[in-house]
Amino acid sequence: MTPPHPKNPLHGVTLAAMLEQLVEQYGWETLSQSIPVRCFTYHPSLKSSLHFLRRTPWARAKVESLYLHYLEEKPAAFEELPAVEPTPTEE
């Protein structure tokens, strides 16, 4: 059994899961501007993108880097949410 990797945020995250979250967060257009590869620009799909990324180490590294940036931004977005005040109950 392999030991857990607490210092590696990519451990246990599949490339498909990374790409799905990035597309949900940024959209294909923004991804194609950040990482200018054809599979993000012309007729983008998860299937074609995963096929390309699995065979192209430099592009996969860029997606992983963008995903790490996304993970760093994500907690900050939650900190900016306004505090919710409890609603008064009717008695």
What pLDDT digit, counting tens, does each position of 42-83 carry? 999 999 999 999 999 999 999 999 998 888 887 654 455 454
Q: Quick one: which of 41, 34, 22 has its CA closest to 62?
A: 34
Per-residue DSSP letters for 26-77? HHHHHHHHHS--HHHHSS--HHHHHHHHHH-HHHHHHHHHHHHHHHHHHHHH
Phi first, then psi, for residue 84 (nearest 5°) are -95, 125
pTM over 0.85: no
CA-CA distance, 35 to 41, in Å (whole number)? 9
Is the pLDDT at 84 greater than 80? The verdict is no
